[in-house]
Chain A
């Protein structure tokens, strides 16, 4: 079974530029998450989708970040314009949402973003 795919793996941009990240979750997984992991910290949830609807985007800086999952499968996360403090690893995760209490999230390898 293929895991969560993310691209690109690395990206270097200058501040005020825009950048986009792509995620393809595990086939059949209804729920998709985007996390931001700053160096030395744990992953922080930015947005959660269930199919193509947003469940929670309360921690997404909406003045510069946007995300979509139009067909309920793959997703893109965009930053425009980027700031220095956006330098982090952006992780995508997916889960099956079979209705049980425990929802194991499967993570992709992440995109490492450096803003200069």
Chain B
């Protein structure tokens, strides 16, 4: 019973182009949505988040879009850089619970120079 799905295990993009990573969820109690980035042999690091009262949040090259009716969110990286190559995890939580994150299975992004 996967509450959070990242259906693309991998994505390759040319440097300078846009990267779009997708995430679908089933639990309607989720009201905060986080993206974490993970390099090999390191722990995940927080990247950007969005609350359910918004449909867009932007931070530099990173923008997250939330479509609550479709239970879908996406992370856009523009322009993509080789240093962005990492695994990206979608991790929503419910503020009404113990604020525990539920991670998707991740998408390996490779930005080609």
Taking Cβ atoms with an 8 Å cutoff, the residues of A that contact B are 4, 40-45, 48, 55-56, 91, 93, 101-110
Contacts and interface: CB of A to CB of B under 8 A. Distances in A.
A103 B99 contact: yes
Interface of B: 4, 9, 32, 34, 36, 41-46, 49, 51, 89, 91, 95, 98-101, 103-106
What 4 A-B pairs have minimum CB-CB distances, sorted nearest first? A107-B43, A42-B103, A101-B95, A104-B46
B33 to A, nearest CB: 10
Given A42-B106, A43-B44, A105 B101 contact: yes
A42 B104 contact: yes
B43 A91 contact: yes
A14 B103 CA distance: 29
Contacts, number: 54
Contacts of B101: 43, 45, 105
Contacts of A41: 105-106
Contacts of B99: 101, 103
A42 B36 CA distance: 11
A108 B32 contact: no
Given A42-B89, A55-B98, A101-B95, A110 B105 contact: no
Contact of A109 (B34, B42, B46): B42
B103 A43 contact: yes
24 contacts: A4-B43, A40-B9, A40-B105, A41-B105, A42-B103, A42-B106, A43-B89, A55-B98, A91-B44, A93-B43, A101-B51, A101-B95, A101-B99, A102-B32, A103-B99, A105-B101, A106-B43, A106-B46, A108-B43, A109-B41, A109-B42, A110-B41, A110-B42, A110-B43
